Structure 1
Amino acid sequence: FSHRVNSTQATITAMKGEGTWTAEATDLVIDQIPLGNGRTLSLTFSQISAGLACRDLRCDVTQLKGDGIDGAFTGEGYVTLQQPIQHSQLNLTVTVVPGPGFASKAGTLGFPSPPPGTPMTVKIVGTLAQARIAL
């Protein structure tokens, strides 16, 4: 991770600068993904990696991928940073290839699922705190 800022102020200008961020995680479970009507989903991945290239208040996704029992995904897009950070805006396009774990979970939730191996593209937009997923 490297990032250079242009200001020491505790305002949005403090977030201006440039740099790159990379992150990797293994054995990750994402819990409490809201599906509506009080239903939630959890997804399990054996590995996930992400990379961002930031300049001023925009971070372009340079890498976004993961895989595990629930499937695999790749993504692209950008994040526009805002204060507080949870108000930052997402604009991502993610291609998901459901695995056997996702198919069994989707069936129990009454959520339609394509056969394992069939790619789906979704948009993830909104704030970090309240992202929306659309097919």
Structure 2
Amino acid sequence: MKLFPRRRRARRLDKELGKGLWRQAHDRYVRGLDRYHQVIDGVKDDSTYSQLVLIGDELAEQLDTVYELCRRAQISHFSDGLQVPGGATKLHSSLSRAANHLATTAEAAAMVRLGHGELVAVRRRADQVKEALKDASDAAV
């Protein structure tokens, strides 16, 4: 990515998500997603790699949901710090759980890459990410 588009994107995110809690929640998900893709890049077996890519694509598709939840939260539960605003505890907790589950999904993928894990564990953790995002969507309503 070139420098100026990256700056424009960062400014847009600052404007729409703020620089506090909701931006942090969004950025944690993005970092987890980046880490997942870094981990699977080293998988040698084509079949395993293809299955991990499909799981990664499902997780990447959720990024729009994370962004929208954080954008709406910044409007309805404004935050410019790291304190969780009243009424937003369940939403923030669910977004945080989703990012944590994404990190454990990357760990499970790393274990598969090293030959010490199974794809079913990666799938289970990816499903936990989607479940946490469903909870976040329910809490945002």
* Higher helix content, 1 or 2: 2
Normalised by the size of structure 1, how large is the TM-score?
0.28
* Higher strand content, 1 or 2: 1
Normalised by the size of structure 2, how large is the TM-score?
0.27
